[in-house]
Structure formats: structure tokens, C-alpha cells
Amino acid sequence: MKKVLLTGINGTVAQALKRQLSGRYEVAGLSVLRMDDVLAERRYTSWKEQLDAYRERVTDQLTSACRGQYALAHFGWNTRDEHCHGGLDPLNILVTDCVYRAAIAAKVPRIYLASSVHAYDFISVYEKDVEPIKPFPDTQVDPFGTPPTSLYGVSKRWMEIAGQYYTRHLGPDQKILVVRLGGIDPSGKPHRPGSRLWDSHPDLAGLFTAFLECEEAPPYWVAFGVSDNHGTEYPRPLFDGVNPYGFTPRSNSSVPESA
């Protein structure tokens, strides 16, 4: 049985995925060390000492936890101070970098990171029937791509760009998938009928499982983790779920029975 490690294990997404994977994979979880825990250990004379100590401790924690794992899924994020409505915690970026480095060094074959639909500014077209948004911007038209919705989205976009950078450091059997997750409710149901951002628990696990089991996966990919939400008002889903793993989302927020 393949071993899977989930960070942010106490969060909604990790808990949902853990339940879905039960019986198929051996799932372990951890909560990423917080800066407050490091500062409580001793007094540091400068912010650089604090940052270096935190980076070292988090890297050690992740490196140890990654040993023997087939996959690492990173959901750990300080959403108290940084979320789609405001705020910015640069330690989220530092932890993301530690995840990439630790997983690559430990030769973890599948490295999955949770980005967000907020990495792409979908708000202006949310209430329009538009061609489903693809995960890759056409840089020949716009070299900077479409802006994010928020500083939270900026951090998630950095996660995606960092993944592209770290692809060149991957071993021959290692792959990276960064998923722009939509809204995942603890109940598994959409927060309202017809939500265009909803990602069901089965679809969350379906894309993750397809990534783990696809032998011909490319070294790096960005995908939208959103269900096939469409109905009378919006006949097409807002996001294109294209991916190279053979996965197609099946749930639809406009059809409760499919949840």
C-alpha cells in the first residue's frame, strides 16, 4: 500500500481527502510547525536568526516525515492571517519552499500542492457564461498572465511558479502537480446550490488519485480542482478541468444527487 503524507492535517481539505483515501492508501498527517513555537524556545537577536531557525526546523520536520512516502500533499497554510479576503503571511511562502526542497531531497515520487482558484481573477466573469478558463495563461498574449484576485492569490501563484522552477531539480521518477482548488465544504456539499467554485470530496480525491496512479504523468502540471458545475443558468463550467492524468470531474453543484 502506497504511503501518503498530508500537511495541514487538521484542516477541512486534508481531512476530506484523508477520509476519501482510507483503505486505498496508508495516510499520515502533520501540522506544520508554527513560528510561535520556534520563538518560544529561545530568544533570537535578529529577524534573520528567527527566519533561519524557523526554516531549519520546518525543513527538518518535513524531511523526516517524507522518508518512505510515495506522495506528499501540502495543504498547510496560515489562513487566519492570509486568505482571499485580505492579509498576507510571508511564512506561507517560506513553508511552501521548504515543502518543495524536502520532498525533492527525500525523492518523494508525487508532490502535490494546493493552490487556489484565487490564483486567477475569475470574479469579473463569475456571473457570465464564458469559455471555461484554462489553467495556463497564454503568455504570448500576456507575458504576466491574468492577475490573481488577492494577495492570497499572489502567494498561490508564487507556489505555481516555484513548482515550475523546482521541476528542473526533480529526480527521474518525481512529478509535481499544483491544483487550483475551489470551495470544499466539510459536509462535502456545495455551500449553495449552483456554486461554480465547488469541488466535491470525490472529485478532490479523484484528481489526487489519478495523479498518483498515472505512470506517464509530465514532470509538472497546474490543474483546476473544481467539480463539473453547470446548469440552466450557466450551461458551461467556469473552469476547464483539463489534466494529463485521465481524470474528469463528475460532481455538479446543480445536481445534488451527484454529490
DSSP for 146-193, written as a single string: S--SSHHHHHHHHHHHHHHHHGGG--TT-EEEEEEE-B--TTSS-SST
Question: What confidence category does residue 44 fall into, taking pLDDT thresholds of 50, 70 and 90?
Answer: confident
What is the pLDDT at residue 259?
A: 40
Other C-beta atoms closer than 10 Å to the C-beta of 154 total: 17
Query: What is the arithmetic mean of pLDDT over 220-249?
Result: 96
What is the pLDDT at residue 45?
A: 87
Q: What is the pTM of this model?
A: 0.94
Question: What confidence category does residue 86 fall into, taking pLDDT thresholds of 50, 70 and 90?
Answer: very high
Q: Is the pLDDT of residue 139 over 60?
A: no
Q: Is the pLDDT of residue 94 over 70?
A: yes
Q: What are phi and psi of 239, to 5 degrees?
A: -120, 145
Q: What are phi and psi of 177, to 5 degrees?
A: -130, 125
Q: How far apart are CA 182 and CA 69, in angstroms?
A: 26
CATH of the domain spanning 3-258, picked from 3.40.50.720, 3.30.70.1350, 3.40.50.300, 3.40.50.620 = 3.40.50.720
Q: What is the mean pLDDT of the chain?
A: 94
Question: What confidence category does residue 92 fall into, taking pLDDT thresholds of 50, 70 and 90?
Answer: very high
In tens, the pLDDT along 184-200 reads 999 999 988 899 999 99
